[in-house]
Amino acid sequence: MNKIFLPILLGLLLNVLPLHSQDIYMPAEYRKALVKNTRSLDGKPGTAYWQNYSDYFIEAEVNSSTKEISGREKIIYHNKSPHDLSKLVIRLYQDFLKPGKSRDWEGDPKYFGEGTAIKKLTINGIDFEADSKDVTRPGTNMVINLSKSTLKAGMDNVIDIEWSFKIPEKFPRMGMYDSTSYMIAYWYPQISVFDDIEGWDMIDYNGVVEFYNDFSNFDVRIKTDRPNMIVWSTGLLQNPEEVFSDNFLMKYRDATAGNSKLEIDCSALNSSNQITRNNGSSVWHYKAESVPDFVFSMSDHYFWQMKRIEAADNNFVLLSTAFRPNALSLKFDVYKIAEEAIKYLATTMPGVPFPYPSMTVFNGEGGMEFPMMVNDGDEDDWESLIYLTSHEISHTYFPFMTGINERKYAWMDEGFAVFLPMEFQIKMDRFGPDNKERDPEKADQREYFVKSFNRFSGTFNDVPMLTPSNLLKSIPYRFNAYGKSEIVFEILKDMLGEDLFKKSLQEFIARWSGKHPMPYDFFFTFNDVSKKDLNWFWTRWFMQSGTADLSISAAVVTSDKMEIKVTNKGGMPVPIAVTLTFEDGSESYHKTTAEVWKDASEYRFTVDVKKKVKSIKLGNGYIPDVNPEDNGL
Ligand SMILES: [Zn+2]
């Protein structure tokens, strides 16, 4: 579009926007997207919405002696945008460990590496020297200036790359966990996102930022060099008959058909009892369609469990767990926890069928999600194992199925991954591994999040949620991404009611499945589906400062009626819950949703008080309030 006309069009747009769209602040990038019709005010992808993607064909070889991985990669990059691209941005995540690179936490120099070695780079038949002036690697991106050509709008482009790197020992979320157990992520040269909002995503991988990836197709062949080296991966295995021994193949087929669960301790295998067909190397061929990333893990001595489970009606998932044979998580039946979590997500919250044909829980370190695979550290208590496993699997919906930009809006990803399995976690924790009810006095997961919210809300660490998360670190990052967003989703659910909230959330997922929604697409979809103007709520919670702090006062008007006044001192819209305790010990409970704060900072209501009131208490363990001092009478 001609730049001169853009301001005029923007002016016109302001005149034709429905009223509710004008009372919410929108950054220029989003307004421009509305003009170009790539986004729309009803929250649906615009009629001119586009996104680029790739077909990756990768042949990778893992050398278990040198700990090196090398690959040959052909990418067909589909430029669906209306722009001719004069540069190409390829992410080389392994450059994170190069000396001198910027990192969100300091690394021990003994683990530094050389990053990704690029041995060959060809774009549409033109060779590029990796150390020429047209190729720069400022952070973890390799930027190629296509001075001699462009990637034409609407065209398919062919990129050939040969590369290698040493599998690191200390890299966040991937690496070598023992000499023959690896989680391989952040590994292949990956084309960055070019979108309708900002063009190329240039954010470096510094350790904290996570996903914002195209939805691409992967055809990957992974060559191993040891017997019984099992490869678990994103996607589905294409050649089980080539990699597995005849004996094992029958068990494998039984498990993939859902007939029986495969349980095999690979540390007990020997040459007369092998899983793999070959003694030396095997080539594992996996394929995955329309996924934002591709990872794999491998080991020759893990305990592997696998079966096809039914997540919801006719919604099948090939679920595997691969753990060290002595892992504590196995004692708590991590397989069962993963199975129950998948069923809960598919049937209850968000209540959307599990979108992937497979899921593997691999025992590495920490906790990290990838499409169809999560990396779980070993947990020595039930509560942590439930939280970790269900949280990481929940990420299947955000950011993988619904391709939000987690690099900038981590609350759209971590917030939902905390929120979605919350009731599941509370129930599982309450009943324990032996299904016996446990300590009822113990604070549940939601109360824990409210307490944590109260600690940070309204402090210097509390910045508006729309602050791009790649600009934040430590507490401000974590508070927005995990704690505050979970609370806001709970408040929203309470305000809309569970059914309308779920309907709106499911519609948001349906509209943006396999696409890249921005926060405003989320806001406007909820406005559209709920038929409510929630812009005041989005403005308050996502763009403004303030805290959760209600206070209470009461006036007795007649002998059996009492007027109660609640003042919103903190500014943020939260529900009101008031408990009256009478002298005879009985109680009455009064509740309103956060909606009462739409246009008011004070709320009055009248309650029946036929008996003598002993005390009045404002709030409960699920409602944040940073100042409890003024919550009782
Ligand atoms: Zn997470």
Task: Give per-residue pLDDT as tens, 281-310.
Answer: 999 999 999 999 999 999 999 999 999 999
Residue 334, classed as helix, strand or coil, is helix
User: What's the whole-number mean pLDDT along residues 314-334?
Assistant: 97
290: left (phi over 0), alpha (psi -120 to 50) or beta: left
What pLDDT shows up at residue 279?
87
What pLDDT shows up at residue 23?
87
With 60 as the cut, is the pLDDT of residue 6 above it?
no
Determine the distance separating the centroid of ligand 1 and the alpha carbon of 41, expressed in angstroms: 29
Token readout for 534 is: 């929630």
- Give the percent of the chain with pLDDT over 90: 85
Summarize pLDDT for 111-143 with one digit per residue, the tens.
Answer: 888 999 999 999 999 999 988 999 999 899 999
Q: How confident is the model at residue 560 (pLDDT cuts 50, 70, 90)?
A: confident
How many CB atoms sit inside 10 A of residue 42's CB?
Answer: 15
- Alpha carbons within 13 angstroms on the beta-carbon side of residue 266 total 24
Determine the distance separating the centroid of ligand 1 and the alpha carbon of 396, expressed in angstroms: 10
What pLDDT shows up at residue 19?
43
**Cβ atoms 362, 234 nearer than 8 A:** no
Which helix (DSSP H) or strand (DSSP E) does residue 263 occupy? strand 262-265
What pLDDT shows up at residue 325?
97
**Cβ atoms 496, 530 nearer than 8 A:** yes
What residues contact 194, with CB distance under 8 A and at least 6 apart? 52, 79, 81, 83, 85, 89, 200, 201
Per-residue burial over 146-181, b = 16 or more CB atoms within 10 Å of its CB, e = otherwise: beeebbeeeeebebbbbbbbbbbeebbbbbbbeebb
Looking at residue 93, the DSSP 8-state letter turns out to be G
Looking at residue 110, the DSSP 8-state letter turns out to be G
What pLDDT shows up at residue 614?
92
With 60 as the cut, is the pLDDT of residue 10 above it?
no
**Cβ atoms 621, 443 nearer than 8 A:** yes
Q: How confident is the model at residue 618 (pLDDT cuts 50, 70, 90)?
A: very high
Determine the distance separating the centroid of ligand 1 and the alpha carbon of 177, expressed in angstroms: 21
Determine the distance separating the centroid of ligand 1 and the alpha carbon of 393, expressed in angstroms: 9
Q: How confident is the model at residue 88 (pLDDT cuts 50, 70, 90)?
A: very high
What pLDDT shows up at residue 453?
96
Determine the distance separating the centroid of ligand 1 and the alpha carbon of 311, expressed in angstroms: 21
Token readout for 380 is: 């020595």
Among the listed residues 352, 223, 372, 405, the one whose alpha carbon sits nearest the alpha carbon of residue 289: 372
What pLDDT shows up at residue 11?
46
Determine the distance separating the centroid of ligand 1 and the alpha carbon of 275, expressed in angstroms: 34
With 90 as the cut, is the pLDDT of residue 440 above it?
no
What pLDDT shows up at residue 542?
98
Determine the distance separating the centroid of ligand 1 and the alpha carbon of 624, expressed in angstroms: 22
What pLDDT shows up at residue 21?
52
Sheet containing 561-568: order of strands = 550-556, 561-568, 602-608
Q: How confident is the model at residue 576 (pLDDT cuts 50, 70, 90)?
A: very high
What pLDDT shows up at residue 22?
57
Token readout for 121 is: 């780079």
- Give the percent of the chain with pLDDT over 70: 97
Determine the distance separating the centroid of ligand 1 and the alpha carbon of 413, expressed in angstroms: 7
131: left (phi over 0), alpha (psi -120 to 50) or beta: alpha
Determine the distance separating the centroid of ligand 1 and the alpha carbon of 391, expressed in angstroms: 6
- Give the predicted TM-score (pTM) of the model: 0.94
What residues contact 8, with CB distance under 8 A and at least 6 apart? none
What pLDDT shows up at residue 162?
98
Q: Which residue has the higher pLDDT, 93 or 107?
A: 93
What pLDDT shows up at residue 149?
87
pLDDT, the chain, mean: 93
**Cβ atoms 171, 186 nearer than 8 A:** yes
User: What's the whole-number mean pLDDT along residues 570-584?
Assistant: 96
Q: Which residue has the higher pLDDT, 512 or 557?
A: 512
Which helix (DSSP H) or strand (DSSP E) does residue 20 occupy? helix 19-22
With 80 as the cut, is the pLDDT of residue 92 above it?
yes
